[in-house]
Structure 1
Amino acid sequence: MSQIVYVSGTFDLFHSNHLKMINYAKGLGDILIVGVSTDELVCSYKNPPAVPFEERIAIVEGLAAPDVVIPQHTLEHRGTVNKLNIDSFVIGDDWEGKYDYLKEEGVKVFYFPYGVGTSSTNLKKKIYEQYRALIKQSDEHPIPDPEGKGNE
């Protein structure tokens, strides 16, 4: 019987750790289902994603690993696990412990270690800091002398 794996995420500003987690999940079974959180779901617990849902799900659908990609409308996964006969559930380790309740449903739960480095949150911070530096640089400049004096 096929082992069905479900991996869950927002997948905002898609980066290499997202890809590593999806590929890791693919290696745990025969069929990989990826749930991409809708904008409404993400906004229920944190700031809106930078990339709209339609684009995020299209990016994940374009990957080789997923067999099926579906919208994810809730953080409560009992229904999804039971409807889709999920054997294993994978999510980033920033959610450590939050999905242990799925073990009661007979599901193996894996918290993928993102480790240090790339995350959507870190990417957003870096982009913001670079943007602020650019604005500061463009706003802080000497005011030219309209008569051309002192520019010699």
Structure 2
Amino acid sequence: MVTAAFAFARAAGADYPTAVGLANFAAGLEVGLHGVTPLPRRQILAAIRAEAEPATRKIVARAEVEALVQELRQQGRRIAFTNGCFDLLHLGHVQMLQYARAQGDLLIVGLNTDASARKLKGPGRPINSQDVRSRVLASIADVDYVVLFDEESVLPLIKQVRPDVLVKGGDYGREGVVGCEFVESCGGEVRLAPRVEGLSTTELVNRIAGSNEAAD
């Protein structure tokens, strides 16, 4: 594993000190394994992210989702899933995420990219970039993984994750929950989180806009 990690780093263009550092890092991970067990690239990258910045390890690339879900299923974990733009995160969001996490052993959050959020919310949105929004979500203890999706609909991502529990805010009726039929057809459940009245990102944006107009 150590030799392979060193060779991989050099082939990718890394200098000797960087390649040696990666090889040493891989050696540290290998010590914790039993016998001759290969280390998946995703596991090495996740460990490096965790070492560099604990919160960012929660942000998973779309291409890595299926491997992650397979690993979680093998561990017998019950997967809860929710999604949204999560722009200008507020108490309503936080309570919904807490509720969602309580429905399973872990919570995966699907996050609209900037392009996807703009299609849904219109010009001027999102207020915060996808990098900021994903990092803020990842810093929340109840969130285990964050996955960005570029489509206007979250359904393709839901089909990749195949969650045991799909959670949305209480302002959605069951008929308005994207992925409801698919999840239930796979034996999963759909649950609606209690809504915090008077709290929504759109309302906050409108209040801010109104305050700015009054100031002018």
Deviation per CA, 1:27-77, whole angstroms, max 9, x where unpaired? 001011111111111122222211111111110011111111111223242
Aligned partner of 1:124 among 205, 211, 214:
205
Quote the sequence identity (%): 28
- What TM-score does the superposition give when structure 1 sets the normalisation length? 0.80
Q: Which residue of 1 aligns with 2:95?
A: 20
1:26-45 alignment, distance < 5 Å? 26-45=101-120
Deviates more, 1:53-62 or 1:98-107: 98-107
Deviation per CA, 1:81-136, whole angstroms, max 9, x where unpaired? 3432410111223442223323223221123232421110010011011111110x
- What TM-score does the superposition give when structure 2 sets the normalisation length? 0.57
Query: CA 1:114/1:72 → structure 2, altered by over 3 Å: closer, same or farther?
Result: farther
Q: Which residue of 2 aligns with 1:142?
A: none
Deviates more, 1:66-75 or 1:119-128: 66-75
Query: CA 1:66/1:115 → structure 2, altered by over 3 Å: closer, same or farther?
Result: closer
Letter in 2 for 1:124: V
Unaligned runs of 5+ in 2: 1-75
Q: Which residue of 1 aligns with 2:126?
A: 49
Letter in 2 for 1:83: Q
Q: Does 2:167 align with 1:87?
A: no
Rg bigger for which structure?
Answer: 1
State the Cα distance separating 1:12 from its structure 2 match.
0.5
Query: CA 1:81/1:64 → structure 2, altered by over 3 Å: closer, same or farther?
Result: same
What number of residue pairs does the alignment pair up?
A: 134
- Structure with larger RCO (C-alpha < 8 A, sep 6+): 1
Letter in 2 for 1:9: G
Unaligned runs of 5+ in 1: 136-152
- Aligned to 2:120, what secondary structure does the other structure show? coil
1:58-77 alignment, distance < 5 Å? 58-74=135-151, 75-77=153-155
Letter in 2 for 1:117: G
CA RMSD of aligned residues (A): 1.6
Q: Which residue of 2 aligns with 1:104?
A: 185
